[in-house]
Structure 1
Amino acid sequence: MDSYWLPPISSNSLPVKAKPRSNTIQLSNFNNPNRQKKTFPLVSKTESKFFHSSSTAVLDKKTVVQSETKVSPSTRRPLPSLPRNYSQQSIEIAKKTSDQQALNSEITFRTLSVQQPNDLPNQLDFMLAKQRTILGIDEKRKKPTKTYKTAKTLKPISSSEDIQISEMSYEESHLAKRKVSVLSDQEKKAISLLTNGISGFGKSGVHGSNNDIVEREYLCINQNTKPILMSKDMMNVEDTVEIRNFLQISELALYQMNGEVLPYNYIEAEISCGGLMQPVLLTINTSFSQYKISFKCMTNLKWVEVKKMIEKGISTKVSTRIPVKISNYKLVIAGTRLYFQEQKEMRQYSIINDISRREKIINIELIDQKQFNEEINQIQLKHQNLLLKEKKKCKASNFSNEILSFTIYELLNFDPEIVFKKFFDESEITSCIKNYFETRSFEKYKIILKVSCCLYMGTDKLCNKEYFTSDVINTIFDCKIITDFSYSMLPLETRLGITLYAIRKGKKVVIGFVNTPLFDFQNFLLSGYVNLRLWPDEESDAVSSPLQNPSPTAPIISIKFPDPVIKIFYQPYEAKYPQVPKNLLKISNDVQQLALHNDPFQPLTNEQKNEIWQNRFNILIQFPDSIDLLLRAVPWTDYKAREEMADLIKIWPGISPIQVIGLLDVRNSFTPARDYAVRLLEETKDQVILGYLPQFIQVLKFESYTCSSLALFLLKRALKNRGDMGQLFYWLLVGENEKTKISLRSKILLEVYNSMCGTQLKELKTQENFIKIIEETAVNAKHWKDDEIKTNLPNMLTVVNNALQGSRLTLPFTSRETVSCVVVNKCKVFDSNAHPILLCFQSSPIFSQQETRFIFKVGDNLMQDMLTLQMFKLMDDLWKKNGIDFRMTIYNVLATSTTSGIIQFVPNCETVNSIQTKGRGITGVFDDACIYEWIKSKNLEEKDLKNAIENFTYSCAGYCVATYVIGVGDRHNDNIMVSKDGHLFHIDFGHFLGNIIKLGFYNKESAPFVLTNDFMFVITMGNTDTDNYSFFENICTKGFMILRNNAKTFIYSFMMMLCSGVPQLKHVEDVQYLKDAFMLDKTDDEAEQEFRALISQSLGTFRTRLNFFMHSMVH
């Protein structure tokens, strides 16, 4: 028999089980005007749905009291406690007919003539009170001061001392204070919830409006238990927990010490192309000898064979009095933490292939096993319980249960209390405008006459209406909202977008906008006063983040939603699996074509949406990768359709990785679909997640709440692989801190990561302090004169060396490379407008002769460069998987803030401008042979020259395709470089997606991409009769077609970056360029022929060389 849930009578009441319907419940027509009994909704646990009903349960007070019974533990779930003033007399619903289609809602705007904040009403108090209400903090109650106890547990075998029970208060056990920022109650609450969801520090009860914290128990073991290192492939959480519990260890340091091993199909494809079989010079550094051992070998040798060759070389150079057993040593790339598996071939490691193609010299270090173990102990990637006053080590069984599941959703999975009323019923919107810019005082406009409201579901507009008044009033004006939306029509992910305008003399000026979810993170509909801070000077749209402006000077709009006695709760979708019809109708031709092409930019008509929805089971079975097409066709205002879509997702088969990523962009806000995508990502390797990590960080802005399945997934992965993913995760969030539209959310996630990353936090803080010193130096360098640079720069760098004394610095853009000190005499300030600093570091350990150089730049936002180079890396991976290596030079870039960043320095190369003008002047740009002669002068041997020409041919082809696809603009001869071994590559990506520089009506760039006669002279070696041009054209076309077959990879990647703050990537229309560049509206043959024509067009465009000449003349 079903259980029926009733609202609790008091804040301490438990869910109750009603008696059978025939005895206690009378059903009556809700529209009956003669009905006198007080009513409230009664919803079946198995039948409840959040949609409009023609009838509702009627129950009197007496029946409510008599129906209280206990519920079995298997069925009991926590219900939210109601406010303290809730009573039996409050269980009453206004007598309104459920078939009312139109709603009259009152919106009141107040424009204050006094601009001083002190004269404003206490709107901020309303806002804070509302936030605390949403977070479950009852202001009328004192903060709980429960004490926590740490429980005893069985001692490990190696333990000899007992664990003492410690007690501390709630306040004492709060998160450790940091000097990062002062967190609000909302942030602290979100941190607490996220921490519980990730680490599982006990279970916390969150009941309605009260913050009832239950006592937590921690299982602790002795302090002297040492961590171990899993140096093989990354393990899943279940295996990790099992090992930790079996060995009774306190911590398991998961750190990926091995390099990336390439798949054999790639190796075979490379060998067929003549790659991966080049001889290299191995240079071995040892800590026990002053001698270097060098020998040539082929990259198909296994590392165990390399060890034998090293041992043979050591025996001839090292005194026989020093016993050396090579098996006691490990091989590592000099200056990195990258260790090799001895049974793998050298060419199986991507880093070896990258080095062998360029420098031909691979610096190897022999690391003593004892030193290796010491490094493991120094890593100490331990999970520290910062919630406890004394940092205790927790046994894995205590936190593993929570890390394997998202407890936060279980805690908030309340049973519903639904009132079937209308949205915006008797609601008020009151705006309170402050003077947020002295130069933009609203006094000069005198009036605020226009407000625009819109409901969004993803990028779909559920409605869009504007409201006006005709009277000019300085203080208050009123207008009515008319909407036909009932509560049941509102999806859980609905966002309300509001834009305020000022009008004067017919001119409309945008004051600001705000988007806010209509349901809070506990699935309760917003009620009462909600104060929202506006983002200035922009209009609300579908891609706007659902976060408020944290600035204290932002305009505030106060919205009063209906405040019913019983709160409106969105019932989670029931766990049931749909039955697929056995006899499906044949899919229509139109839907079949839409599913085959699945163009994300093609708008769908209402007829197409209806037809797609009718064929949903056909899409499930025949076209599962077109799930995003089906999501675009769901009638979101129909609760049954939403529920059925959620049910379909439960049985939806696996889809391609790129389609998974596409489900997380701004167009899809349906929570079950986003959760489905995250579940599939759980099965993805770290290397793939790492490749799209910037996108995942950005789409966190599209989540309605900070605590989302995607946020928990990223935190778990970052904490599992703290070396590679954790460090990049940290710095990507740091780079978001200055972007106000995400700063609050990024700070919360940073605080959670910092509280759980153990002693890695010390390493991250070292990097952060280093960045601060270098940034201060770079800012000051802009004002230094030439003679001041010679004295000031060494002094500032000496400060860095003093800070690094006795320790190592892991470079922020790669956790695999560590440095020990600055080589001061090799650092310099470039003579350019930004005055970037070239920094040279000695690689760690100190006996290594390897040097690392990078550039620190202040004054530019490097986010666009990061995105462009990330896309180049994705292209390079796709090409290599298809058997083509375009010898791309993809250097690392990391934006440390919105105005600064680190750029990896590429040695042994010069700009095309420098090559063209050296010894020839600016007219050298018209000399076809200049680049060829320069490469020839750097490669005197014939085989080296041949290899350099091959490098130039492949790399030039790769960058022609890559810059065309992304639409890179502002190409001149100072941002195209050539290395001494012939690799061509591009730098400085300030313009992309077809944004080119115009001088008035004159387009500086008319060629699809840069391909000049001097480039082609190198490819053909000055002989136009060779087949080199045809070979170049063929590999270009093949490279383009490979990318075209994976066009969605780049389209979805750019769609996910719409809120990244990149100036030329703000709207969905900006990504339209990619569709045109990939020629998705053409057949494969048509696209191939058109791209060949683009090659000829680029080569024949004289304006490119004219731009080179003009740039050389100016610079």
Structure 2
Amino acid sequence: MLEAIVKKSPLQEISVDEKTLLWRYRKFLQSEKRIGTKALTKFLRSVDWSIDREAKEAASLMQGWTKIDIPDALFLLSKYFKGVDSVRNHAVNVLKDAPEQDILSVLLQLVQALRYEHDMRTCKLADLLIEKAERSLMVSNDLYWYLTIACEDSIMGEFYYSYRARVLENYKTKKQHETVKMLQRQTKMVQNLSEICLFGKTNRNSTEIVKEKFREIAERKVSSWDGIFEDNSSLILPLDPRVSVNNVDPTGVTIFSSNARPMKLAFKTSPKSTYHAIFKIGDDLRQDQLIIQIINTMDTILKDNGMDLKLTPYRVLACGKQEGFLECVLPSTPFAKIIEKQSIEEWLKDQNKNKSHQEMNEVLDNFMKSCAGYCVITYILGIGDRHLDNILLTPDGKLFHIDFGFILGHDPKPYPPPMKLCADMVLGMGGSGSERYKSFIKNCCSAYNILRQHSRMILNLFILMIDAGIPNIDHGISRDSKIGEQLLNILTVQQRLCLELTEEEAIQFMRSVITDSERTLFAVHDIMHRFAGYWK
């Protein structure tokens, strides 16, 4: 009975009787090695924190418990333990020892976790984030922009604004004036790009005017851009702090024809190198940012378990609720454009004419593996509105998805296929009877089981975002709802992980999902999409 309770997912309720049982066997669970290490989060949920004696004993037991991992630490920082300082500080102590990359991978959630503290400006978690930011340019960059968008929160924005001010003041106290200046330059650049993008959006025939504007910027003729690009100091790109830029190449500027009129920019990183990114206004990129973060996490989990499925988790940064950057993956081509003229296999062979037979097989394996990875991930996350214009392919065979406006089972299309697998993908793997397609099915099943084993991490990344105001997580739920109601949309992920199944049962289930998807007339949906787009 205890083991069954401990194995429950973070989203599963713990009954009154189960809480009583956890409390009764609290000392056994603390010392028990087999299930005790994973029992702490469940035990802490059994505590009535309003009873002083019970709270003190729980806090004392917690200190002697086996050290928890990062997924459990995230759960202890969630809304389940809002204002419970002893629990939250225990989680912070776990995160203190986490390496930079682990902090970066969950920083988006840690910023949201601040809203559940008694005072986000002075709590232990706030201190930890400042300490990590002092030591890492990557953390300081991402922390600033995550806080900047949190400042727009209608309920907690004032507190986030005060905390961001404390972060900036701390840099000054620590003599890190260059960090403050860099963030100010980034902010000024984003503001200026928003103005140019708005001009391009409201003036439909403005492409040449916008390009001319960037020519003037490159020649240092626009006063509003003074100090952003400096001759003796490159600017860290907000989207990717590993990249330093010193200008925008005006010849590489493109304005897309879609309603949002986003700009593709070529940032110069050296006299001969550029970094391509899209800047857009009028769209909320926070949901794309979250999904890409979770895809990145899943990619790391799979690689740590020996599966490199050739995923392409490009970077996304929301700079505000209506503006932000997306990394351009170049070269890449939409599926729709490819299959208008030739098959996927023919296109890949055309792109790799000088490759040896072995190298060409590697390209085709990249296609098969990336198909498997994205099929499983988009299924688990309930990614909707899939069509052949938002599935792209690189010349080296890596398939990837863009545009995550519909998640967690939401989809504007009636009766969407369970998995995003179309006939052209199957043919690109050699057909449903080929050895490569059999490998595709095997990879799907293996990836599915690996990700199921790490369900705590995946679910906790979502749980900490329930009050962030992200559309599909908030969908149909009021801000004053009980926590159980707020988690309803996230339950889609838990349901698709089928945590009640054994590994063998999960393999059979995934095979059935693939079979059902093969039978779905995916192409019909794409014809409908293009027809609808024609009349927009």
Aligned counterparts, 1:208-357, within 5 A: none
For residue 800 of structure 1, report the CA deviation from its aligned partner.
6.0
The one-letter amino acid of 1:1069's match is: L
For residue 1040 of structure 1, report the CA deviation from its aligned partner.
0.6
CA contact (8 A) 2:9 2:455 kept: no
Match of 2:512? 1093
Q: Quick one: distance in 2 between partners of 1:797 and 1:662? A: 50
Q: Quick one: distance in 1 between partners of 2:273 and 2:218? A: 19
Aligned counterparts, 1:63-74, within 5 A: none
Identity of aligned residues (%): 28
Deviations, residues 157-176 of structure 1 (Å, cap 9, x unaligned): xxxxxxxxxxxxxxxxxxxx
Q: Quick one: distance in 2 between partners of 1:716 and 1:876? A: 28
CA contact (8 A) 1:777 1:793 kept: no
Structure 1 residue aligned with 2:410, among 982, 992, 995?
A: 995
Are 2:179 and 1:769 equivalent residues in the alignment? no
Higher CA-based Rg: 1
Structure 2 residue aligned with 1:985, among 394, 400, 421?
A: 400
The one-letter amino acid of 1:742's match is: M
The one-letter amino acid of 1:1076's match is: Q
**Structure number with higher helix proportion:** 2
Match of 2:17? 607
Match of 1:887? 310
Match of 1:725? 139
Q: Secondary structure at the match of 1:594?
A: helix
CA contact (8 A) 2:365 2:436 kept: no
Aligned counterparts, 1:526-565, within 5 A: none
Match of 2:223? none
Are 2:80 and 1:664 equivalent residues in the alignment? no
Structure 2 residue aligned with 1:813, among 217, 232, 239?
A: 239
Aligned counterparts, 1:190-589, within 5 A: none
Match of 1:911? 334
For residue 1072 of structure 1, report the CA deviation from its aligned partner.
1.0
Q: Quick one: distance in 1 between partners of 2:164 and 2:37? A: 36
**Structure number with higher strand proportion:** 1
For residue 651 of structure 1, report the CA deviation from its aligned partner.
1.6
For residue 1004 of structure 1, report the CA deviation from its aligned partner.
4.4
Q: Secondary structure at the match of 1:974?
A: coil
Q: Quick one: distance in 2 between partners of 1:884 and 1:871? A: 17
After superposition, the CA RMSD in angstroms is 1.6
The one-letter amino acid of 1:789's match is: T
Q: Quick one: distance in 2 between partners of 1:829 and 1:1026? A: 42
The one-letter amino acid of 1:700's match is: L
Structure 1 residue aligned with 2:439, among 1008, 1017, 1031?
A: 1031
Deviations, residues 262-293 of structure 1 (Å, cap 9, x unaligned): xxxxxxxxxxxxxxxxxxxxxxxxxxxxxxxx
CA contact (8 A) 1:857 1:901 kept: yes
Are 2:435 and 1:1040 equivalent residues in the alignment? no
Q: Quick one: distance in 2 between partners of 1:605 and 1:906? A: 48
Q: Quick one: distance in 2 between partners of 1:696 and 1:703? A: 11
Q: Which has the higher contact order (CA 8 A, sep 6+)?
A: 2
Match of 2:524? 1106
Q: Quick one: distance in 1 between partners of 2:390 and 2:433? A: 31
Question: Compared with structure 1, are the counterparts of its residues 668 and 800 closer, same or farther at alpha carbon in structure 2 (3 Å cutoff)?
Answer: farther
For residue 650 of structure 1, report the CA deviation from its aligned partner.
2.1
Match of 1:835? 261
CA contact (8 A) 1:777 1:796 kept: no
For residue 796 of structure 1, report the CA deviation from its aligned partner.
4.7
Q: Secondary structure at the match of 1:795?
A: helix
Question: Compared with structure 1, are the counterparts of its residues 855 and 761 closer, same or farther at alpha carbon in structure 2 (3 Å cutoff)?
Answer: same
CA contact (8 A) 1:827 1:839 kept: yes
Are 2:391 and 1:976 equivalent residues in the alignment? yes
CA contact (8 A) 1:949 1:982 kept: yes
Are 2:209 and 1:784 equivalent residues in the alignment? no
The one-letter amino acid of 2:294's match is: M
Are 2:349 and 1:936 equivalent residues in the alignment? yes
For residue 1074 of structure 1, report the CA deviation from its aligned partner.
1.5
Q: Quick one: distance in 1 between partners of 2:289 and 2:230? A: 31
CA contact (8 A) 2:214 2:250 kept: no
Deviations, residues 626-663 of structure 1 (Å, cap 9, x unaligned): 11111121133422111111111222221222112211
Q: Quick one: distance in 2 between partners of 1:863 and 1:606? A: 37
Q: Quick one: distance in 2 between partners of 1:884 and 1:974? A: 27
Question: Compared with structure 1, are the counterparts of its residues 608 and 635 closer, same or farther at alpha carbon in structure 2 (3 Å cutoff)?
Answer: same
For residue 836 of structure 1, report the CA deviation from its aligned partner.
0.2
CA contact (8 A) 1:739 1:898 kept: no
Match of 2:57? 644
Q: Quick one: distance in 2 between partners of 1:652 and 1:837? A: 52
Q: Quick one: distance in 2 between partners of 1:798 and 1:736? A: 34
TM-score, normalization by structure 1: 0.44
Q: Quick one: distance in 2 between partners of 1:784 and 1:793? A: 13
Are 2:371 and 1:956 equivalent residues in the alignment? yes
Q: Quick one: distance in 1 between partners of 2:210 and 2:427? A: 46
For residue 812 of structure 1, report the CA deviation from its aligned partner.
0.4
CA contact (8 A) 1:801 1:821 kept: no
Question: Compared with structure 1, are the counterparts of its residues 647 and 1012 closer, same or farther at alpha carbon in structure 2 (3 Å cutoff)?
Answer: same
For residue 764 of structure 1, report the CA deviation from its aligned partner.
1.0
Deviations, residues 459-491 of structure 1 (Å, cap 9, x unaligned): xxxxxxxxxxxxxxxxxxxxxxxxxxxxxxxxx
Match of 1:155? none
For residue 1113 of structure 1, report the CA deviation from its aligned partner.
2.8
Deviations, residues 1020-1062 of structure 1 (Å, cap 9, x unaligned): 1x5x543222111101110110000001111111001111110
Match of 1:875? 298
Question: Compared with structure 1, are the counterparts of its residues 881 and 800 closer, same or farther at alpha carbon in structure 2 (3 Å cutoff)?
Answer: same
Q: Quick one: distance in 2 between partners of 1:1025 and 1:681? A: 48
Are 2:160 and 1:737 equivalent residues in the alignment? no
Q: Quick one: distance in 2 between partners of 1:738 and 1:599? A: 32
Are 2:466 and 1:1058 equivalent residues in the alignment? yes
For residue 945 of structure 1, report the CA deviation from its aligned partner.
2.9
Question: Compared with structure 1, are the counterparts of its residues 592 and 935 closer, same or farther at alpha carbon in structure 2 (3 Å cutoff)?
Answer: closer
The one-letter amino acid of 1:647's match is: S
CA contact (8 A) 2:214 2:248 kept: no
CA contact (8 A) 1:698 1:1056 kept: yes
Match of 2:42? 629
Question: Compared with structure 1, are the counterparts of its residues 805 and 675 closer, same or farther at alpha carbon in structure 2 (3 Å cutoff)?
Answer: closer
Q: Quick one: distance in 1 between partners of 2:255 and 2:127? A: 42
Q: Quick one: distance in 2 between partners of 1:1027 and 1:952? A: 14
Structure 2 residue aligned with 1:1017, among 402, 420, 427?
A: 427
Match of 2:2? 591
Are 2:90 and 1:676 equivalent residues in the alignment? yes
Q: Quick one: distance in 2 between partners of 1:940 and 1:904? A: 28
Which ranges in structure 1 are unaligned for 5 or more consecutive residues? 1-589, 920-928
Q: Quick one: distance in 2 between partners of 1:931 and 1:766? A: 44
For residue 821 of structure 1, report the CA deviation from its aligned partner.
1.6
The one-letter amino acid of 2:102's match is: V
For residue 801 of structure 1, report the CA deviation from its aligned partner.
5.3
Deviations, residues 170-223 of structure 1 (Å, cap 9, x unaligned): xxxxxxxxxxxxxxxxxxxxxxxxxxxxxxxxxxxxxxxxxxxxxxxxxxxxxx
Which ranges in structure 2 are unaligned for 5 or more consecutive residues? 221-225, 475-485
CA contact (8 A) 1:801 1:822 kept: no
Equivalenced residue count is 502
The one-letter amino acid of 2:462's match is: F
CA contact (8 A) 1:973 1:1111 kept: no
